[in-house]
Amino acid sequence: MSELPRLHLHLLGPAGGPLGGRFDDVVERLTAIERVHYEPDGSLLWSGKNWQIGGLIYDRAEIVQYVELQGALPVDCWQRLISALAGPDRQVSVLRLQDQSLHDLQSFENSTWPQ
């Protein structure tokens, strides 16, 4: 198995705006994933064999503004996590904190986990 890419990023909504979605709905989807540890302060941790990702959900007025994530995980787990955090039909922007570059979800995935 090749080494997993190290991530430190913010998940944002379209064009870097709020991610959207009700905080409680995001938490419900997130906690439906096995082995996700969630705390009421918005912090989360998910780990598997040889990988781990942690983060914090930031909200205002019960609407998710952005999610900070840090760690490493396989692409299939990433896609499950994105579906839980952003919902199945949401548009997502990814701000890569290492170089402050903003990407749409597809370009971020293609550059992070090339086929």
Q: What is the 3-state secondary structure (H, E, C) of the chain?
A: CCCCCCEEEEEECHHHCCCCCEHHHHHHHHHCCCCEEECCCCEEEEEECCEEEEEEEEEECCEEEEEEEEEECCHHHHHHHHHHHHCCCCCCEEEECCCCEEEEHHHHHHHHCCC
Residue 34 belongs to some domain of the structure: yes
pLDDT at 2: 61
Contact 74, 87 (CB under 8 A): no
Looking at the structure of the chain, the number of domains it has is 1
87: pLDDT confidence band, cut at 50, 70 and 90?
confident
* Domain of residue 64, residue span: 18-112
Beta bridge partners of 64: 59
Query: Is residue 5 over pLDDT 70?
Result: yes
Q: Is residue 13 part of a domain?
A: no
In a domain, 95, yes or no: yes
In CATH, what number is assigned to the domain containing residue 69?
3.30.310
pLDDT at position 74: 97
52 part of a folded domain: yes
- If pLDDT is split at 50, 70 and 90, which confidence band does 1 have? very low
- Average pLDDT estimate for 65-80: 96
**For residue 105, is it within any domain?**
yes
> Which residues are CB-neighbours of 1 under 8 A, at least 6 positions away?
50
CB atoms within 10 A of CB 108: 22
pTM of the predicted structure, to 2 decimals: 0.93
Q: What is the DSSP letter of 86?
A: H
